[in-house]
Structure 1
Amino acid sequence: MKLPEHVYKTMEYISTKGNVYLVGGAIRNTILNLPISDYDLCTDVPLEQLFPDKKIMKNDNREIIFLNDQNIELSTMKGNTILEDLSHRDFTMNAIAMDINGNIIDPYQGQKDIQNKKIKTISNECFTQDPCRILRAIRFSCELDFEIVDDITEYKDLLKTIKTERIREEFYKILLLNPGKIEEYKDIFFVFLPELNCEIVQNNPYHIYNIFKHIIETTKHTPPVLELRLAALFHDIGKVKCKTTKNGIDHFYGHDKISSQMFMKIAKRLKIDHKTTNKVNTLILNHEFNLYFSTKAWTRRILKYDLDIEQLFLLRKADISAQNPIYLNRLEDYDKKEKEIIQLAKKKNIKIKGDYFVSKDVEPKNIGKILRELQTKVLLGQIENEEGALKQYADQRYRKYYRNNE
């Protein structure tokens, strides 16, 4: 395995002080002919002796520093030898080391497991030592298309013992890589997302799947954009709480609002950032839109929710794609309408700004009100979106708010 010069030079320098090894993903990806984005090095030399000016962090009982703009991660060994260190790693495919001379150290036959596309733990204590490895195994399965050998489901309750942030980050990666894994390992995901445990039949001509299966299929039909996939995953969880049946047909009136309320609790529990939470919640609240809303109704929604129309239609079309295939012809109507609504939404960027009203000494609390009314007029086609026309209308309609009446 040929190393980049800067990695080799770093290993060469460390080898003058003690032992150093390349470990983990770089070796695995080399075997698989996959790109390598970073290099993990491991040493028995105290890091402060090697790089006294670098900030030392701690993770998994190791000291870690980052070099070459974070391209190299250097950590201290666990134990006194490389064999002892490798015994503390998660999977055989990641427990391979290489010294500066290119000699491979592979005590757990990780190379063989890589060739056989197997994810296999080093020891029975793998998941008890770090329960987040349960989700890491699923994530690696997504990334590499490998089979997980161990029965990871039996350790699922250990996930309750680790920090939410670690769960969230692995969950995000899995969701973006392959949402189908959430169905495959549903009992694991139900531990921290119990709201997804909704395998309830939908006796409705538009549906052929139960609620959970429909959710997964919808998510599969969305592009790998975080807020879009989160919205797809949670868009129908509220159906469980509002199911009614009439003449043998199930209905779920108001499930968009209930799904929104449930998602907000999930967002708080998983500590999802505020910006993502708002985007996802807006999509969930509006995913049941009526294609034949009037221009006035669309205008109201566009301005009230600051809608991303493209994402909203992507979610709605994914939702339809996961329903009864005999109704898929509806998608053509959505494609046509989407272009129209995108053009309408663009008009909210009116060619007059708040500073114009500041110059008129309008009270700040009234400026937002004026701009919103002008946006509404433009979207409804009642005023041209031209600066001159907007100012002329404003000077006539809102002069009562001007303190410096000219």
Structure 2
Amino acid sequence: IEDLSRRDFTINAMAYNVENGLFDPFGGKEDLEKRLIKTVGNAEERFEEDYLRILRAVRFSTEYKFSIEENTFKAGRKYAHNIINVSEERIREEFFKILLSDTPSNGIIILEKMGILNIILKELVDTIGFDQKNPNHEKELYEHILCVLDNVEPILNLRLAALFHDIGKVHTQVLDKEGIGHYYNHDKIGAKMAEDILKRFKVPNELIRKTTILILEHMNHHNEFSEKGLKRLIRRVGEDEIFNLFSLQKADIKCSNKSASIDHIIGREKKVKYILENKEVININQLNINGNDLIEMGFKEGKIIGETLNHLLDRVMEEPELNKKEILKDLAREYCKLC
């Protein structure tokens, strides 16, 4: 019983063996049936032993769709300010598990009510109650962000991009003479804010890159793309992230205005799938010519090699049938006359 008494929550303080069956000195089975997160013994004492347990209570509540028992919640709110003494790495692990749950917004809301969000993610708190002052947005900013968060797949960088995609709006609102809000460059500012937050959380650089590229590109759903433009988009975002971008855009649109259409994004997805399935050229390494071939043709080593290959890539992205070595050599010679 001494070992069980040091556990965090009653649902984690049960034991079982074949001879004696279930040993449940703190009522964990009953709390499981009630779907309740409750500390073992005195809640304040349990949290003082490890303040990360407050965040774990929120995580369990979010993951299992349990309620937090009243005294446990009150103690968590009382000691929430001590989360600052927990390492960023430990906070990050619990927070990311919340983000990957079925309905992460539930966890974010509890974090805010407990006073934890203001400590670990002040940038998001700043969006609460923020009126977007735009007829294309039916929700205030915080509600919109949580809606988008819940409506993308549970992929870490995608959920992070959903959480941060509009945090730059707080710092970019400009009202026109009709009082309508505009948010120029909020994608760029939001991406930089996300980068700073993720560096604070000490995450790998690759996760930062995969998150920020989605934020930087999320507003391009307003753009018209030619086939060549779509191929360039795939190059910028990456084949492994392009469909995550479309998922973010669809959720963003649906959570902005119920009557808004996502048909153009669905159409774009189909075109990109066709491009990738047919292995159409989108990168220099897919050309049937390379730098060594150009040097053998008499090109001097240097930046002209890269410039020529990029020119050939542009031509092939427009006309895939040009991707034959002899044709590319002719095109390279023609281009070099202009060098």
State the TM-score, normalizing by the size of structure 2.
0.83
Q: 1:175 to 1:261 in 2, by over 3 A?
A: same
Q: Please state how far the C-alpha of 1:316 moved relative to its aligned partner.
A: 0.6
Cross-structure match for 1:104: 22
Residue 89 of structure 2 corresponds to 165
Measure how far apart 1:306 and its partner are: 3.6
Aligned to 1:347: 281
Instruction: Provide closer, same or farther for how the CA distance between residues 351 and 202 of structure 1 changes in structure 2, counting only shifts above 3 A.
Output: same
Q: Return the alpha-carbon distance in structure 2 between the equivalents of residues 118 and 286 of structure 1.
A: 41
SS at match of 1:98: strand
Q: Deviation at 1:281?
A: 0.7
Please list the CA deviations of residues 263-283 of structure 1 after superposition, one character each: whole Å capped at 9, or x if unmatched.
110111011211111111111
Match of 1:263 among 188, 194, 201: 194
Q: 1:125 to 1:302 in 2, by over 3 A?
A: same
Please give the root-mean-square deviation of Cα atoms over the aligned residues, in Å: 2.7
- Structure 1 gaps of 5+ residues are 1-82, 401-406
Cα gap change, 1:260 to 1:137, in 2 (>3 Å): same
Q: Decide which structure has greater strand share.
A: 1
Whether contact under 8 Å (1:256, 1:286) holds in the other structure is yes
Distance across 1 between alignment mates of 2:10 and 2:191? 42
> Can you give the 5+ residue segments of structure 2 that lack an aligned partner in the other structure?
none
Which whole-Å CA distance do the structure 1 matches of 2:131 and 2:270 have between them?
35
User: For 1:140, which of 60, 81, 87 is the aligned residue?
Assistant: 60
SS of the residue corresponding to residue 195 of structure 1 reads helix
Mapped partners of 2:97, 2:302: distance in 1: 43
Instruction: Write the letter of the residue equivalent to 1:154.
Output: K
> CA separation in 2, counterparts of 1:190 and 1:297?
41
Q: Could you tell me whether the CA contact under 8 Å between 1:201 and 1:210 is conserved in 2?
A: yes
Instruction: Decide whether the 8 Å contact of 1:132 with 1:162 is kept in 2.
Output: yes
Work out whether residues 62 and 104 of structure 2, in 8 Å CA contact, stay in contact via their aligned partners in 1. Answer: no
Output one character per residue of 1:75-96: Cα deviation in whole Å (capped at 9) or x when no partner: xxxxxxxx11111110011011
Residues 93 and 389 of structure 1: CA distance in aligned 2, closer, same or farther (over 3 Å): farther
The answer on whether the counterparts of 2:243 and 2:269 sit within 8 Å (CA) in structure 1 is: yes
Q: Hey, what does 1:334 align to over in structure 2?
A: 265
> What corresponds to 1:185 in structure 2?
111
Structure 1 length as normaliser, TM-score?
Answer: 0.70
In the alignment, is the contact (CA less than 8 A) between 2:315 and 2:322 conserved in 1? Answer: no
Distance 1:390 1:91 in 2: 70
The whole-number CA distance in structure 1 between the counterparts of 2:256 and 2:33 is: 39
Structure 2: how far apart are the matches of 1:276 and 1:366? Answer: 34
From 28, 34, 58, give the equivalent of 1:116.
34
Equivalent pair of 1:374/1:390 in contact (CA under 8 Å): no
- Kept in 1, the 8 Å contact 2:289–2:328? The answer is no
Aligned residues: 315
- Three-state SS of the structure 1 residue aligned to 2:181 is strand
SS of the equivalent of 2:262 reads helix
Q: Percent identity?
A: 37
Bigger shift: 210-219 or 308-317? 308-317
> Structure 1 residues 224, 305: closer, same or farther in 2, change over 3 A?
closer
Write the mapping of 1:8-27 to structure 2, written as runs, cut at 5 A.
Answer: none
Letter in 2 for 1:137: A
Which is greater in Rg? Answer: 1
**Cα distance between partner residues in 1 of 2:304 and 2:211:** 30
Secondary structure at the counterpart of residue 384 of structure 1: helix
Match of 1:272 among 203, 227, 230: 203
Relative to structure 2, which stretch is displaced further, 167-176 or 370-379? 370-379
Q: Which has the higher helix share?
A: 2
**Given the alignment, which residue of 299, 312, 329 partners 1:392?**
329
